[in-house]
Structure 1
Amino acid sequence: MALLVLCCGVQAEPAVWQPAGGRVQVPLWPGTPPNPAPVPAAEYVKTGTDLIGGKPVTWVSNVSRPTMTVYAPTGPNTGAAVLVIPGGGFEGLAMDLEGTDVCDWLAPRGVTCVLLKYRVPSAPYDWRCDCRPHNLALSMPSLADTQRALRTIRSRSAEWRIDPKRVGILGFSAGGFLVAEASTNFKRRIYAPLDAVDKQSARPDFALALYPGHLTTDYRKLNSAITVSGDTPPTFVLQAEDDEVDGVNQALVYYTALKKAGVPAEMHLYAHGGHAFGLRETSEPITRWPALAEVWMRSIGVLPGH
C-alpha cells in the first residue's frame, strides 16, 4: 500500500488537498455523508521525501468530506469515463501517484477521468494481520463514497458528455480492493437513498484492479465481502510477484474467482515491480502496464479500435 512509500519521511502541510489547473472538487454528498467515520484531526496534505519515478508523492489523510474532481478529455471525447480510486491502506490517499497521474494519462485518450477523494482513515486496523474487520463491513464509508460517485457520474452523463453504459472504475492497492468490492456489491444498498442520483446504477461497466490488496483473509480464501458472480464486470488485473505489501495471492485468488464465475478477465503478472509504482516509469517492465490496459479497453469496446 502507498502508505509504505511515505513512511521514511514527509513534510506536512495543514491544508485541504486542491487539484491543479483550476479544477474544482465536486462534493459527493448534499449534506453530511452517511456512515460517518471519526477522523483524528483536520484533513492534511503531506509531500513525501522519497521519490517514485523521479517525483515525490502527495499523501492526503483525515478526509471527512469526500469529493470528486473531473478531468475532461483533452483528446477527442470517446464517451468513456473512469472513476479513479487512489490507494493508501485506508489510512490516506496517494493523490498524485495513484490519482492525478492516472487522469493525466486518460484525458488525452478521450476518457473523462473522475478522481475520487474518499473518506480516510476508514477504521483503525493493523494491515500486517488477517483481522482487517473494516474489509467485512459493507457499510464502510469508503464503499458508500464509491457507490455514490458511480451514481453521480451516470446522473451527470449528459452534462459531462459521457456514455452511461461505459463507466468504469480503476484503483490501486486499497483502491483496488474498492474496485473489487464495488464490482461485486453493486446490488446492495450500502446507504439509504438521498435523492435522484441514487436512482442510478452503481455497477461499473468495466474494472481495473492494480496490485489490489485486502482481497483474501488467509492469503488463500477470498474475502467474504467480495461476492463474485456472473454479473461482475470485465476486469483487468495487474500484479508483481515480488509485492511484499499485499502479496501476489491477493490478485491470484481474485482472478481465479472471476474465471470460475465466467467473468471476462485479463491478468498480467510480472516477476518484479514491488508495490505502489503507479504509472511512473522506472526500469521495471511492469511500469509500462498502461499500454496493456489501453489495448484491453479497446478489446472490450470501451475505447474505439482494436
Structure 2
Amino acid sequence: MLITSGVLPVAVIAQSTPKQPTPETPSSDDAPTAQPSMAYWREISLWPEDSPVLQAGIQALAHEAWALTHPSMLVYRPALPSSRAAVLVFPGGGYKGLGIGPKSALGLYGSDVCKWLTDAGITCVLVKYRVPNTGCNWNPETKRHESPAIPMALQDAQRAMSLVRYNAEAWSIDPNRIGVMGFSAGGHLAVLSSTAYGARAYEPVDGADRMRLRPDFAIPVYPGHMTMAHKNLRPSDSLAARALNTDIVVSAAVPPTLLIHAKDDPIDPVEYSEVYETALRDAGANVTLIRYETGGHAFGVRRQGTGSDRWTHDALRWLDALGLRP
C-alpha cells in the first residue's frame, strides 16, 4: 500500500510496461473515508519497478517519512460523446504533498476536477507525481527556496505524457489533443511541461518514451514558483526578483496557454501569471490570461461565491475556441 503526504492510501497497480487497459477498482481495504464524486477507470504506475528512474527516486526520498515514491496516474474516462481530447492534471501541494485528500478543492483523488472534464467529453488523467521536494520548494529550516538535484516531478509529468500518448488509440484519445492542467505547484509543473518538452528529464525506459513530450495546450491555474524570488533573489519586491524564473524558457512554440488567477491570491500572487503571460506574448506564443477580482488561492473547482467560480465555464469556452470539445 502506498502512503502519500496529504493523500489517502491508494493501491498502485504494478505494471512493468504499457499494456492494453482493463477496468480496475480499489480493494475494500483502500476505501476512502469520503466518497469521490466519480470513480476512476484505472490506476497505472508510471514506471516499471526495476526502472533506474524509479529506484533513484526511492533512494533520494528514503529519509522522508511521508514520501510518495511510486507515482501513478488515475484515468477518468468520459461518457460518450467524447471529444477524444485528454488533460493531464497536476495537483498542488508546494511540492511537499499532493492536494487530493478528502478536503481538496479538486475532490478526493481529483475526482471533482475530473468529473468536470469528463462531463465535457474530455478524458482526465490525474497524475500523482512524486513528493516531497521534487520541484522548487521552500525549506523552512534554511528559509530558502531549493531545487532538487533530480527533477522527479518533471520526470513523472513527462512520463505520464508519454504513457498517455502511447496508449492513445486504445483509450480513444487523439494523440494530438492532449494537454496539461495544474494547480499552484501543479500549475508550475504544467508550465514546465509546456516549456521544457525539448529534452527528456530522464533516460528513455521503453517504447512509450519514443512519444513526443510537447502538450497540445496548457491551463496553469494560479501557478507558483514563477519568479526569480524562487531563486532567492532579494528583496522579493525588486524588479530582478519579480522577473520570470530562468528555469522557464519560452518561445513561440509553447502550446496555446490559458492562465487562470485571482487578483486577491495571498499565496501565489497574480503577478506570477502576469509575468509569464508577458513573456509568452513577447515570444509570439498563443496565450490568454483571465484574472478574477476574487477567489483567493486553491479554489480548485469548488464554488465559493467569488469571481473565480466562473473559471471552469471560461476554460471550456477557451477549449471550444481551440476545437477541443465534442
Report the TM-score when normalising by structure 1.
0.83
Q: CA deviation at 1:40?
A: 4.3
SS at match of 1:259: helix
Equivalent residue letter for 1:194: V
CA distance in 2, matches of 1:94, 1:237: 20
Aligned partner of 1:190 in structure 2 is 201
Could you say which residue in structure 2 is the equivalent of 1:266?
Answer: 288
Q: 1:225-236 residue pairs with structure 2 within 5 A?
A: 225-236=247-258
- Aligned partner of 1:270: which letter? Y
Gaps in structure 2 of 5+ consecutive residues = 1-5, 12-29, 230-240
Change (3 A) 1:254 1:127: farther
Matching of residue 298 in structure 1 with residue 320 in structure 2: yes
Please give the per-residue CA displacement for 1:25-66, whole angstroms capped at 9, x wherever unaligned.
1000112461513154565xxxxxxxxxxxxxxxxxx21100
* Counterpart code for 2:262: A
Show CA shifts across 1:4-25 (max 9, x none): xxxxxxxx89734768536431
Alpha-carbon distance between aligned partners in 1 of 2:8 and 2:120, rounded to the nearest angstrom: 35
Q: Which moved more, 1:276-285 or 1:116-125?
A: 116-125
The alignment status of 1:97 with 2:96, answered yes or no, reads: no
Q: Which runs of 4+ in 1 moved over 3 A?
A: 12-20, 39-43, 127-131
1:262-299 Cα offsets, whole Å, 9 max, x none, are: 11111111222110010001110212200000000011
Q: Report percent identity of matched pairs.
A: 41
- SS of 2:98's partner is strand
Q: Which AA in structure 1 matches 2:162?
A: R
TM score, norm. by length of structure 2: 0.78
Q: Are 1:146 and 2:160 counterparts?
A: no
- 1:64 aligned partner: 69
Change in CA separation of 1:192 and 1:16 when aligned onto 2, cut-off 3 Å = same
Answer yes or no: is the 8 Å Cα contact 1:89–1:127 preserved in 2: no
The partner residue of 2:138 within 104, 126, 136 is 126
The structure 2 residue matched to 1:74, chosen from 59, 62, 79, is 79
Q: Give the stretch that moved more between structures: 184-193 or 26-35.
A: 26-35
Partner of 1:112: 123
C-alpha separation in 1, matches of 2:313 and 2:69: 35
Q: CA separation of 1:22/1:148 partners in 2, compared to 1, >3 Å: closer, same or farther? A: closer
Matches within 5 A, 1:156-235: 156-218=167-229, 219-235=241-257
Matching residue of 1:30? 48
Shift of 1:203: 0.7
The one-letter amino acid of 1:168's match is G
Q: Report deviation, 1:93.
A: 0.8
Once the 2 structures are TM-superposed, how far is the Cα of residue 169 of structure 1 from its aligned partner? 0.3
- Whole-Å Cα distance in 1 between the matches of residues 198 and 295 of structure 2? 35
Where does structure 1 lack aligned partners over 5 or more consecutive residues?
1-11, 44-61
